[in-house]
Amino acid sequence: MNLKSRLNEEITAGVNELLNQFTLTWNKKDRHGFGDLFTTDAEFTDVVGQTAIGKEAIVKQHVFPFENVMKLAQFEMKDAYIRELTPELIIVSALWKVTGSNSPDGKPLPDRNGVLQLIIEKNDSSFLIKLVHNSDNALPYEKQEQFIH
């Protein structure tokens, strides 16, 4: 991944490790490990417009994709830009690519790409995701705007 940061080396390394864990747990389809990367009150808006509110809702939100349309897919962050919003909040804007995804009826989809923005909460030397907004430039799925609690 090509990483640009306006933060010091130590904070950049901590954020980069969190991004690596995000990718690793996503690619393993480890919903619970994925959920552990988030604050209790985190929010995640996915590519079809569903917003999960809270860590448990984020885990629930990823059941269908991880067990169906993304079961064999692999996620990669290609470029990321990191900067501070406040001393406790960091924003990451990243370009991503997904290969191997399927439509809900099981048909293979072409490679997809999009933009992921994450707000990361920093406490001492720990980093957790507080908010995610994910967009898919191709969006092969039907929009499903809703809030999941």
Q: What is the pLDDT of residues 34-48, one digit of tens each?
A: 999 999 999 999 998
Average pLDDT, the chain: 93
Residue 73 has pLDDT above 90, yes or no: yes
DSSP secondary structure letter of residue 1: -
Q: Where are the strands (E) in 65-125, listed by range?
A: 74-86, 89-99, 112-123
pLDDT digits (tens, 9 = 90+) for 52-71: 999 999 999 999 999 999 99
Q: What percentage of the chain reaches a pLDDT higher than 70? A: 93
Please check the confidence at residue 79 and state whether its pLDDT lies above 60. Answer: yes
Closest listed residue to residue 97, CA positions, set 117, 69, 116? 116
Q: Is the pLDDT of residue 144 over 80?
A: no
Residue with tokens 């960091």: 90
Which are the contacts of 128, defined by CB distance < 8 A and separation ≥ 6? Answer: 18, 37, 38, 39, 42, 120, 121
pLDDT band at 95 (very low <50, low <70, confident <90, very high): very high
How far is it, in rounded angstroms, from Cα 110 to Cα 98? Answer: 9
pLDDT average, residue stretch 73-96: 97
CATH topology of domain 2-138: Nuclear Transport Factor 2; Chain: A, (3.10.450)
At 97, list the tokens. Answer: 């690519």
Q: Kindly calculate the radius of gyration of the chain based on its CA atoms and give it in whole angstroms.
A: 15
Length of the chain, in residues = 149
Instruction: Report pLDDT for 85.
Output: 97
Q: What is residue 72's predicted lDDT score, i.e. its pLDDT? A: 96
